[in-house]
């Protein structure tokens, strides 16, 4: 290969299906392999690779500096991206090379490796003053902004972050340096969701000192105290040492991460779930939409909804994740995405859900009955459990004030 051309193989369930080729000047081409194109029983990479007739798309435009949205969404954002890129000595904006470094442990059943086993080109480190000071890169990527790592559970009940960063079956989220008790908040909201019958993975709230191998240098991205808590959630894209494929809705819609609050709505998500899933998927979507409205989660953007491929070909709604009541930190009457006509929490009514159901072609009775049931159950469970969850007094007060402004409520 010439010095300015590099190719990465994209593997799905360990089998090569496509290539990403950097042809120089940070210009990248994506192409499916003929073996994947010609395989009539091929596993699904993503819904966005299907045309209107359900056939595989095979022609893609080249991208500059960024990868195509599907692969760009596999990479971390903001603080986490800069931390991992700095460790590897890669410019965080050069997504082809960042994926090269992080592609051994991605969300879902995708891995990425150099086509010819080549090493990372030396000119990638040209902005690094002293290459001998580079730390061993952590070869994993979990999309999102928050500081989080893949971890392994050990016999004592604690968790260990592998030195390479890859191979864990848990995700550990460290506390925020900006907002109080975010791990406690997320743990509480996820447990409330579980009590309401939603599909929630196993979770833990544990002291930071029970997490081994927190990477050196992480302190400059946030201040942590020994008595602080971390939130851990079992990876639903891993089971019995096997990867299970997933994709988030920014990938489904071909939208870059910076546009995860734009260019789509809850109605758009619902329509895909209605087409691809079953009635239980529609009910689960409705439960989560109602629940996150009631708790005041203004951060349910496109990357916080995913589809999962349990049999490699059929899409259904993935288990729940990233449920946080954001209003104790940033009071807001706006959700991150429109429901159908409005994103205001104060406009969340049965009529708005009826409009969503009609436009997304969902069974209206199923949506409305599920919404009413979820509201009734929420108030019952909230009254019983709020004092037993690790929530601060101010969090409880903020949620209860918010609830008084939601039209879709009991009593």
Report pLDDT digits (tens) over 41-57: 999 999 999 998 889 99
Mean pLDDT of 154-165: 72
pLDDT at 398: 97
Interval 280-297 mean pLDDT: 98
pLDDT tens for 172-224 read: 998 887 888 999 999 999 999 999 999 999 999 999 888 888 876 665 444 55
Separation CA 147–CA 19 (nearest Å): 29
For residues 18-30, give the mean pLDDT: 96
**DSSP symbol at 334:** B
Bridge partner residues of 309 (DSSP): 245, 315
pLDDT at residue 221 in the model: 47
- State the Cα–Cα distance between residues 121 and 368, nearest whole angstrom: 56
CA 125 to mean position of chain CA atoms: 29
Is-contact 296 321, C-beta < 8 A? no
Tokens, residue 268: 């758009």
Residue 290 has pLDDT above 50, yes or no: yes
pLDDT at 397 over 80: yes
Looking at residue 120, the DSSP 8-state letter turns out to be: P
Average pLDDT over residues 162-178: 79
Q: In 36-155, at which residue ranges do the beta strands (DSSP E only) sit?
A: 63-64, 110-114, 148-153
Say which residue, 120 or 14, is predicted with more confidence: 14
Helix ranges (H only) for 277-363 are 279-294, 350-360
Q: Is the pLDDT of residue 68 over 70?
A: yes
- Per-residue confidence (pLDDT) for residue 215, from 0 to 100: 75
Q: What is the dihedral of CA 221, 104, 71, 243, to 10 degrees?
A: -110
**71-80, 122-131, 249-258, 355-364 — which is least confidently predicted?**
122-131
What tens digit of pLDDT does each residue of 341-380 get? 999 999 999 999 999 999 999 999 999 999 999 999 999 9
Give the model's pLDDT for residue 140. Answer: 54
Range in 22-31, 167-176, 305-314 with the lowest mean pLDDT: 167-176
User: Considering the chain, what is the average pLDDT of its residues?
Assistant: 89
- How many whole angstroms from its chain centre is CA 27? 26
Examine the residue annotation and report whether 299 is marked as an active-site residue of this protein.
Answer: yes
The tokens for 155 are 């016999």
pLDDT of residue 130: 44
Pick left, alpha or beta for residue 254 (phi over 0 → left; psi -120 to 50 → alpha; otherwise beta): left
Token pair 């807001």: residue: 332
Cα distance between residue 387 and residue 295, in whole Å: 15
User: Quick one: residue 178, left, alpha or beta (phi over 0 = left, psi -120 to 50 = alpha)?
Assistant: alpha
pLDDT of residue 141: 56
Q: What is the Cα–Cα distance from 321 to 207, expressed in whole angstroms?
A: 20
Beta bridge partners of 308: 246, 316
Whole-angstrom Cα distance, residue 269 to residue 246? 15
**Residue 103 has what DSSP assignment?**
T
Which pLDDT belongs to residue 51? 93
Query: 344-371 b/e with 16+ CB inside 10 Å = b?
Result: ebebbeeebbebbbeebebeeeebbebb
Distance between CA 387 and CA 150 in Å, rounded? 31
Whether the CB-CB separation of 344 and 333 falls below 8 Å is answered with yes
Confidence (pLDDT) at 364: 98
Mean pLDDT over 231-240 rounds to: 93
Q: Which of 199, 237, 281, 299 is catalytic?
A: 299
pLDDT value at position 183?
94
The strand pair at 27-32 and 242-243 is best described as unpaired
């Amino acid at each position: 290969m010439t010095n300015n051309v590099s190719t990465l193989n994209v593997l799905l369930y360990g089998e090569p299906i496509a290539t990403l080729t950097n042809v120089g000047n940070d210009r990248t081409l994506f192409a499916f392999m003929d073996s994947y194109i010609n395989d009539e029983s091929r596993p699904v990479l993503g819904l966005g690779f299907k045309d209107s007739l359900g056939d595989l798309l095979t022609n893609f435009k080249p991208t500059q500096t960024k990868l195509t949205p599907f692969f760009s969404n596999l990479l971390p954002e903001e603080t986490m991206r800069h931390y991992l890129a700095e460790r590897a000595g890669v410019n965080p904006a050069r997504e082809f090379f960042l994926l090269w470094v992080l592609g051994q442990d991605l969300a879902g059943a995708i891995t990425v490796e150099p086509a010819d086993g080549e090493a990372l080109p030396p000119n990638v480190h040209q902005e690094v003053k002293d290459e001998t000071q580079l730390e061993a890169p952590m070869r994993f990527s979990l999309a999102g902004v928050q500081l989080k790592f893949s971890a392994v559970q050990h016999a004592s009940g604690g968790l260990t972050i592998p030195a390479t960063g890859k191979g864990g079956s848990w995700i550990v989220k460290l506390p925020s340096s900006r907002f109080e008790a975010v791990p406690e908040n997320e743990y509480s909201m996820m447990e409330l969701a579980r009590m309401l019958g939603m599909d929630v993975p196993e979770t833990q709230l544990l002291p930071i000192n029970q997490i081994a191998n927190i990477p050196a240098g992480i302190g400059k991205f946030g201040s942590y105290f020994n008595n602080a808590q971390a939130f851990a959630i079992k990876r639903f894209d891993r089971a019995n040492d096997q990867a299970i494929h997933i994709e988030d809705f920014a990938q489904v819609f071909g939208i870059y991460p910076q546009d995860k609050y734009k260019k789509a709505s809850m109605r758009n998500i619902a329509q895909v779930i209605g087409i691809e899933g079953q009635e239980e998927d529609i009910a689960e979507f409705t439960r989560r939409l109602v629940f996150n409205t009631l708790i005041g989660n203004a951060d349910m953007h496109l990357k916080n909804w995913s589809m999962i491929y349990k049999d490699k070909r059929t899409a259904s709604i993935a288990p729940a994740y990233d449920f946080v009541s954001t209003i104790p930190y940033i009071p807001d009457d706006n959700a991150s995405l429109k429901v159908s006509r409005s994103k205001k929490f104060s406009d969340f009514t049965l009529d708005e859900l009826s409009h969503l159901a009609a436009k997304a072609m969902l069974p209206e009775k199923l949506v409305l009955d599920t919404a009413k049931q979820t509201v009734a159950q929420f108030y019952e469970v909230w009254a019983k459990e709020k004092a037993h969850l690790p929530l601060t007094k101010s969090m409880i007060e903020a949620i209860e004030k918010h609830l008084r402004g939601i039209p879709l409520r009991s009593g």
